[in-house]
Amino acid sequence: MEFKNTREFAQMLDAKDILKPYKDEFIFPQHNNKNVLYFTGNSLGLQPKRTRSFLDEILNDWGALGVEGHFYADKPWWDYHEQLAAPVAKVVGAKTSEVTVMNTLTVNLHLLMVSFYRPTKKRFKILCEEKAFPSDQYAILSQLRTHGLDPNDALVEVKKRPGEHHWRTADVLEMIALYKDELALVLIGGVNYYNGQVFDIKTITKAAKEAGAKVGWDLAHAAGNIHLELHDWDVDFAAWCSYKYMNSGPGNASGVFIHEQYHKRKNIPRFEGWWGTKKETRFQMKPEFDPMDNADAWQISNTPVMTMAPYLASLGMFEEVGMEALLSKSKTLTDYLEFILDEINAKVKHQKTLEVITPKDRGCQLSLLVHGKGRELFDYFMENGVVVDWREPNVIRLAPVPFYNSFEDLYEFGQILEAGI
Please state, in angstroms and as integers, the Cα–Cα distance from residue 179 to each residue in 32, 212, 244, 268, following that order.
56, 10, 34, 25
Q: Which of 25-29, 57-61, 207-211, 388-392 has the lowest mean pLDDT?
A: 388-392
Largest Cα span, the chain? 75
Q: What is the pLDDT of residues 112-165, one digit of tens each?
A: 999 999 999 999 999 999 999 999 999 999 999 999 999 999 999 999 999 999
Confidence (pLDDT) at 183: 98
Confidence (pLDDT) at 373: 74
Confidence (pLDDT) at 353: 76
Q: What is the pLDDT of residues 32-70, one digit of tens each?
A: 999 999 999 999 999 999 999 999 999 999 999 999 999
Q: What is the pLDDT of residues 161-179, one digit of tens each?
A: 999 999 999 999 999 999 9
Instruction: Look at residues 325, 334, 319 and name the one whose alpha carbon lies nearest to residue 91.
Output: 319
pLDDT at 407 over 80: yes
Residue type for position 285: M
Report the percent of the chain where pLDDT is more than 90.
Answer: 93
Question: What are the backbone dihedrals phi and psi of residue 183, each rounded to the nearest 5 degrees, phi first?
Answer: -75, 125
Cα end-to-end span (Å), the chain: 28
Contact criterion met (CB below 8 Å) for 25 and 50 = yes
How confident is the prediction for the chain on average, in pLDDT?
A: 96
Confidence (pLDDT) at 129: 97
Contact criterion met (CB below 8 Å) for 129 and 139 = no
Q: What is the pLDDT of residues 324-346, one digit of tens each?
A: 999 999 999 999 999 999 999 88
Contact criterion met (CB below 8 Å) for 172 and 158 = yes
Please state, in angstroms and as integers, the Cα–Cα distance from residue 364 to each residue in 21, 124, 131, 332, 404, following that order.
19, 36, 21, 9, 12
Q: Structural domains in the chain?
A: 7-49+323-420 (3.90.1150.10), 80-321 (3.40.640.10)
Instruction: Look at residues 324, 337, 339, 354 and name the one whose alpha carbon lies nearest to residue 399.
Output: 337
Q: Please list, in sequence order, all residues whose beta carbon lies within 8 angstroms of the beta carbon of residue 339, skipping any fewer than 6 positions away.
A: 3, 5
Separation between Cα atoms, residue 218 and residue 48, nearest integer Å? 25
Query: Where does residue 5 fall: left (phi above 0), alpha (psi -120 to 50 degrees), or beta otherwise?
Result: beta
User: What value, to the nearest 5°, has the Cα angle with vertex 311 and ends 305 and 315?
Assistant: 135
Please state, in angstroms and as integers, the Cα–Cα distance from residue 236 to each residue in 45, 270, 372, following that order.
28, 14, 44
